Structure 1
Amino acid sequence: MIREDRFVISRRPYAVDLDSLHLTQDGERYDGAPIYTVTLAAVWFRRRNKLTVACVGHLRDIQSGDAPADAAEFLARHDDGRYGGDCHGRWDGTGYWGAQEPEVIEQHLALLRPMLANFPAIPPGYDGWWRFAPATP
């Protein structure tokens, strides 16, 4: 992924929590190299039906070989943006989509409401803006 200082919604950027890196070893490749599912908490803005929405979720990738030492290494190795982020909650200013548990809804809205109100500012505790490089044929 590529870090940019300027927010451009058409580049589909993410702000990430650099302290939220999570690794799960899922097995090994045929050559014995370990395979990891790696996640990093993220927030982002998108446009849906001409309306700006704020989203919370995570970036996820399956990586093999040496485990990423930190979030920066994970982001440097995460180059497949076909699926984007995994959205867990979304706020459009009037309606919420996402979790069903009241505590999780409250946590999401505590983050998403001020995030959307301060568009396109990066929420406290997050680093941005990160985007995927354009796909090459």
Structure 2
Amino acid sequence: MIREDRFLISRRPYAIDLGSLRTAKKDRRDGSSFYFGRINAVWFRRKQGVTVACVGTLWDFQDTEPADGTEFVTRHDDGRYGGDCDGRWDGENYWGAQKLDVIEAHLAVLRPMLANYPAIPDGYNGWWKF
């Protein structure tokens, strides 16, 4: 991924919580290993002409363990799957989790995010694109 200073929704950028990286070492059948990593992210998209705010994760398989979130995202070069959206807010409707505490946590991020479009939410680093 490449970090950009300027927000352009057409480039499908992500703001990333660099401190949220989680990795797990996995073994291949040939005896070698790789690391599966996930990192929290938020992003804006346009859906049927309406701007929506999304919260979720980005994931990647990497041959060596990344030292931190910055190394993980700079090595992450396959954006064909995009982010895994866990919650989405369009200013009127929420889509995502079914548990009330998770919905409330998502909306605590998504409501101010959409209200302050296109500002980067507190605690996130952006904008990153593939």
Match in the other structure for 2:52:
53
TM-score (ref. length: structure 1):
0.92
5 Å-filtered alignment, 1:1-137, equals 1-28=1-28, 30=30, 32-64=31-63, 66-132=64-130
> Which residue identity lines up with residue 83 of structure 1 in the other structure?
Y
1:33, distance to aligned residue in structure 2 (A): 3.1
1:56, distance to aligned residue in structure 2 (A): 0.1
- In structure 1, distance between residues paired with 2:74 and 2:41: 15
1:29, distance to aligned residue in structure 2 (A): 5.8
Count of equivalent residues: 130
State the 4+ residue runs in structure 1 displaced beyond 6 angstroms.
Answer: none
1:36, distance to aligned residue in structure 2 (A): 1.5
Give aligned-pair identity as a percent: 65
- Could you tell me which runs of 5 or more consecutive residues in structure 1 were left unpaired when the two chains were aligned: 133-137
- In structure 2, distance between residues paired with 1:71 and 1:114: 24
Write out per-residue CA displacement over residues 17-51 of structure 1, whole angstroms, 9 at most, x where no aligned residue.
Answer: 01000001221362x43212101100000000000
- In structure 1, distance between residues paired with 2:7 and 2:122: 16
Query: 2:19 aligns to what SS in structure 1?
Result: coil
